[in-house]
Structure 1
Amino acid sequence: MLKATFRPYTLKFKTPGGTSRGVLTEKTSWFITVWDEKNPDIKGIGECSVLPKLSPDDRPNIETKLEDVARNTDLLKSNFHTALADWPAIRFALETALLDLGNGGNQELFPGPFTSGTKGIPINGLIWMGSPNEMKQQIEEKLNAGFRCLKMKIGAIDFQQEYNILKKLRSTFSPKDLELRVDANGAFSASEAPSILEKLAELNIHSIEQPIKAGQWQEMAQICESTPLPVALDEELIGIDEPARKEQLLQTIRPQYIILKPSLTGGFKASEEWISAAENNNTGWWVTSALESNIGLNAIAQWTATLNNPMPQGLGTGQVFSNNTKSSLTIKIGELWMKK
């Protein structure tokens, strides 16, 4: 019989993380540990990572739900994807804990070239919102570390200032030498987005994530139809669990890309349904972490490595916390590797 426990863990940012939804200084995760009564020395661990004001799991009763999951893990094992459809972060945590347990409890969920330390994953460097000087400093650090793909958060400070930073970068580095992505986190209105996209396209920006708030399917469809640069859906995917509904969203909006965050989409199985729907609709995709600790990031990285997507992935967030959990993950010249 399976048993489980959970415990909270507060992650603290080294420097405040600025987004268009506000500034983060800390966030909470819950670690779920699962074991079989017959063999209690082998334990699997998973992470329930919650982003304030964004995760569906960001509710006052989350610990009550985690207690329920811990009490009924054995019963949930066969149908947790359905039973926890409304709790994507908990669903992801239980999925990874069970995978870890099934593979011996050493946090090696998907054995392969990545876990053996013989293959890395290309990743983007993340630039948080801040003052122009703060953002420039972050950019210099990432470039010096060998990143050739940067993702910059936009939409919190004056757009012209953000544009000027990007313009200066592009004047120094060609699109061949440096890929630039931007993430608006829904900061712009449907009426102002087209002109902003026109300006960004002048700089050969690779893509813009979620230019307007989620839930405006028709407005987003119009933007994606006429956009001069690729649009990637991010928050738009949250809360959509039925495969038919996933197909409907992609067929309605017709985005150029979707971005998969297993903590927000409900784990690996749910994310693979999105990948299948994307490929059915000629939509590109990549994977991004959602500010998990190294527990969750490790699981996401291993899964991502099995997908063999050559694009830079958004898996460089392990460096943002001052009290992160121990990990074998390391970044070398713009790639994520596992040390052996």
Structure 2
Amino acid sequence: MKASYSKYNLNFKVPSGTSRGVLTRKETWFLILEENGRYGIGECGILRGLSIDDVPEYEQRLAWTCGQIEKGETALLKKLNSFPSIQFGVEQAFLSLHSEDTFTLFPSDFTKKEAPIPINGLIWMGDEAFMLSQLEQKLRDGFTCIKMKIGAIDFQKELSILKTIRSQFGPNQIELRVDANGAFGAEEAHIKLKQLSEFQIHSIEQPIKSQQWESMANLCANTPLPIALDEELIGISQAAEKERLLQTIKPQFIILKPSLVGGYAHCNEWINLAENNNIGWWVTSALESNIGLNAIAQWTYTLNSAMPQGLGTGGLFTNNFECPLEVEHGNLYYRTYKEWNTTLIENICT
């Protein structure tokens, strides 16, 4: 077996704002396996300033992984706990190598019969006019679950946007989720959550910065709307520590991003622990290309969750890979009549 890696830069169609800044480009890496003329491919995607493996020696670790590939998947995953995105890339690449067609990692009704996955429509931060224009487009596209990034512009303007939505659509028509990406201070968070709760919000992701367990636990115990942990899960790889976090903070939800928490095995462990503690969950992509998004979506379908998932990011880039994934009427489909455009992928592999 041979292994190699290749870097690829994804370019945003429109600069996309979060509370951590505006994104115009997303770096990603592909891990390629080759054995007896067959190829396997997995995406290793990091988010600068957020991923625990956003470190200078990242590519060195990818090179090490390629050099140790004969040790096999299980042995490699044990050595890569500090590099969750590479763990996820390794899982994908081995599944891909042994699949029938490189890209069908989890055969199911999703891949065979176009059974859809309900997803949320994502509204990026910007000025009020920009955010409202995104909202109008998402509603035209048939989304009934909207996720809005908040925390970068004036909070009163963000409340005004939510008020506009609720004046036209009740909670039975549109489910509203907000994502603060840790933008609120611990001392002000409860007041802001109370203001947000007036608009019948489904949940808020990561209202305060991670690693403030006591403050987050107090918020979750007294919150007027459900809280979902996101960044809080990053960097926690041991089962005992995962359970300690959940039992200490007691969130209403957790959000699973395979590239940030170590792939399928770690996500499955989080899910089992969450369900044992009566905590809800859903899955979200982390700005992967369609190769990584495909790997996340196929796995997500097998989890049989009825909740809208966060998997609508495939259309954000100008140079993504053409594939069967398609968003329609607020759902993600794997169109059986569409094929992967393998030209770019073949260039990566060679």
TM-score by length of 1: 0.98
Cα deviation, residue 117, structure 1: 3.4
**Moved >4 Å (runs of 4+):** none
Contact 2:17/2:125 (8 A) holds in 1: yes
Cα distance in 2 for partners of 1:74, 1:155 equals 46
Deviations 1:248-301 (A, max 9, x none): 000000000000000001000100000000001000000000000000000000
Amino acid across the alignment from 1:19: T
Cα distance in 2 for partners of 1:77, 1:118 equals 30
* From 215, 232, 257, the counterpart of 2:253: 257
Provide the identity percentage: 56
Aligned to 1:148: 144
Cα distance in 1 for partners of 2:26, 2:73 equals 28
Contact 2:68/2:76 (8 A) holds in 1: no
| SS across alignment from 2:110 | coil
Q: Which consecutive unaligned segments of at least 5 residues does structure 2 have?
A: 337-350
* From 298, 303, 308, the counterpart of 1:302: 298
| SS across alignment from 2:209 | coil
Q: Which consecutive unaligned segments of at least 5 residues does structure 1 have?
A: none
Cα distance in 1 for partners of 2:73, 2:173 equals 47
Cα deviation, residue 173, structure 1: 0.3
* From 34, 52, 75, the counterpart of 1:56: 52
* From 109, 113, 117, the counterpart of 1:117: 113
Q: Is 1:126 paired with 2:126?
A: no
* From 13, 19, 43, the counterpart of 2:39: 43
Aligned to 2:325: 329
Q: Is 1:102 paired with 2:98?
A: yes
* From 76, 90, 93, the counterpart of 2:89: 93
Cα distance in 1 for partners of 2:311, 2:299 equals 12
Contact 1:43/1:104 (8 A) holds in 2: no
Aligned to 2:192: 196
Aligned to 1:23: 22
Cα deviation, residue 76, structure 1: 4.3
Aligned to 1:221: 217
Deviations 1:3-27 (A, max 9, x none): 1111000000000110000000001
Deviations 1:187-216 (A, max 9, x none): 001110001100111100000000000000
| SS across alignment from 1:115 | helix
Cα deviation, residue 63, structure 1: 1.1
Cα distance in 1 for partners of 2:31, 2:322 equals 16
TM-score by length of 2: 0.95
Amino acid across the alignment from 1:216: Q
Aligned to 2:347: none
